[in-house]
Chain A
């Protein structure tokens, strides 16, 4: 009995000591960085040489919640889970710089002024297995990407009326101007990747890549390990020749500073946070409640200007024809009642550095298309008297308005804040909260029973006609309008940047400002954290890490 009591007492004492010693602040270890001797500043001419440039080296571990579901670049469907690693292994015929201009990548290109033909000439380029890229590889890749169906087919291949191969060049003739054709070909998110024709022929029609050995591209990394539930490991392509494509962002040289890039899959945000703080990851996310602690232990916070807009859409479909939201005055009342600043602050959980009050569907950096029409039309006015007058004009009789959102997250926070503002002017709001899995499908179904739906989308960079969420598609709330149809037709049928195209877009913005089919709250910046020794070093709205390096 005495022995037993002594044993229990010792166990309790041990537990107490362990707990007490745990209450110390420990610095998290930093990610593995290269161990180098201090060197003089490298000569500019040798800047890209791994021998002299101490930015080279190290393993970058990125925490990701996305699980890749295919090895095949043409079946990637532009899903984040796939392109996040494919963009390192594969490249495109042309690329899109952060400045919004197109640049040659695998091919030089000549796009006719009338937009009805495109000539691609393959450059001196090699796949990771050492084989030279030929124009046949480009043509075969385009055909395959189009044969899968999806956007590459509708935006590129279905417009092709003639394909002429001459030497190292191919000339595509199009039946009509495709405002999104070049963007689709250049999209670093795929599926316009170039792969060897030999592999395409080996796979045959309709078959996807299932063997890692067939993942061969021209990119600066090669696929080493593919375990999509656990990790995807990329190693530097030692055959890659660093090329200056002439632009910025994706069109800047791909230096491949890291020896390996590892996408470590972790679908739980709390677990990712713990991993970041413990130093398991070089780059990852932190839950908002742990953000102050993360910064305290030295993690670096990065605001990414990736141009995500938050908005609501009114269900203007025939299936919702009896709803008061069909009345323009009601929609104007909603817009007048909302304090966009407060809503965006709620969406971004009180971090005012993470958003700007900018409702445009195209970034302000795009001088050709950007305008302030939406910003100047009763945007962020929070005028309850005006709102009430619109409400009265609509004949609103107190009926319940259903606002569909997913549980938690930005949509929910926006809805809670917005619903309160609308109730202040006398609108009876029913917040319909569903799980995130159901939300995507319900909001895209006109018969779901919602009057207001939530949406977020990245802005178009080049041409607003590419922005399907705010221009076309179900995300625009099934808004049918003859003027809209005409203007969209004009936008999609004219050359990007032409007077006709810009005029059509401006008129489209005037129409949206008047009809209010949707209301954009503002533009948000995403947040990423990194270990203190990580220099992200990228530009543009798509994240890439081929120019990321460790500072120690």
Chain B
């Protein structure tokens, strides 16, 4: 397994080189000048020039690229053009709300989605199954931003059960306050995943329930609950784990829409704001960071498969 992991990590290097290069040049091809955007339309021309000089934006693009790659290789990801602080620090500072949002929404979606899928599989082709499938389709179809706004209106403005926006850092208000502040966005984000997880679980459960060992378990006199949860569920979880794993990685990369609608200062919002400001270095760092996350998630998922199904051999 160690050899497998090392081989996978090495194969990542060319991918990262392509990502770094593509992102660097794409960012600079997009119209928009960071100096004007950051200083505002009424900024004096002298201020704009001074800013560009300070940020090294007047250098030739190739020189900027070479400097950037050299710095990356030595672990220096650069400073944000906007904040003038190290980009990696900015990412780390934004991780807390994003991680909490990711974990909370994943927990909700798994705790609700898997049971929904099992129930739908158990009562397939009944009213229960149809109802849950409808909810799944509904959940997959609703845009997150619309659901978010509706939830803000209903639960925030009208009922005042939850805050309508913002995030309370753990350091400031404690874990429970932090979770309370992101309950609405977690639901909004998790709702889509509930639907996907439920449908996947239903589908794989139905496949697994047709296997001989399940028939044998029933023949032995085990209760339906034991048959489902002890024998069938574990074997049906592999595709669900893939789905959950990738959605978690995606959320770690930043749920841009959710964080923007609910004003959560996470990585997704940072990515969006950096793009709008043409904060090249920050945006490059975020994309590189997310690319690395996805790759590591992929490797981690492979290891989890092995645990779920010991028969799997690594090449």
A residues bordering B, Cβ < 8 Å?
1, 4-5, 8, 18-19, 21-24, 26, 28-29, 67, 69-70, 77-80, 148-151, 153-154, 208, 210, 228-230, 264-268, 270-272, 274-275, 277-278, 280, 434, 436-438, 440-442, 444, 455-458, 468-469, 473-474
Contacts and interface: CB of A to CB of B under 8 A. Distances in A.
A68 B82 CA distance: 9
Contact of B83 (A228, A266, A277, A442): A228
A67 B43 contact: no
A192 to B, nearest CB: 13
Interface SS, B side: helix
A145 B43 CA distance: 16
B84 to A, nearest CB: 7
Contacts of A67: 82, 273
A18 B158 CA distance: 11
A151 B42 contact: no
Interface SS, A side: mixed
A70 B157 CA distance: 34
B153 A274 contact: yes
Given A229-B265, A271-B263, A78 B39 contact: yes
Contacts of B85: 210
B50 A150 contact: yes
5 contacts: A1-B123, A79-B38, A149-B50, A271-B152, A274-B153
Nearest to A281: B165
A437 B27 CA distance: 12
Contact of A26 (B126, B131, B160, B269): B160
Contacts of A434: 31
Given A67-B273, A278-B157, A457-B42, A440 B32 contact: yes
B160 A148 contact: no
B41 A274 contact: no
B261 A79 contact: no
A70 B84 contact: yes
Interface of B: 30-33, 36-47, 49-51, 53-54, 82-85, 93-94, 119, 123, 126-128, 131, 149, 152-154, 156-160, 163-167, 169, 260-263, 265, 269-270, 273, 275-278
Nearest to A456: B41
A152 to B, nearest CB: 9
A29 B160 CA distance: 10
Contacts of B127: 5
B260 A267 contact: yes
B263 A69 contact: no
A442 B79 CA distance: 26
A440 B33 contact: yes
A438 B30 contact: yes
Given A149-B50, A270-B261, A440-B33, 15 more contacts: A5-B127, A19-B154, A21-B159, A22-B154, A22-B159, A69-B38, A149-B53, A210-B85, A229-B94, A230-B169, A230-B265, A271-B262, A437-B275, A437-B278, A440-B32
B3 to A, nearest CB: 43
Contact of A274 (B45, B128, B131, B152): B152
A457 B46 contact: no
Nearest to B41: A440
B33 A270 contact: no
B31 A78 contact: no
A266 B165 contact: yes
B44 A274 contact: no
Contacts of B119: 4
B122 to A, nearest CB: 9
Given A78-B47, A149-B53, A440-B41, A266 B158 contact: no
Nearest to A210: B85
Contacts of A78: 39-40, 42-44, 47
Given A268-B263, A438-B30, A278 B156 contact: yes
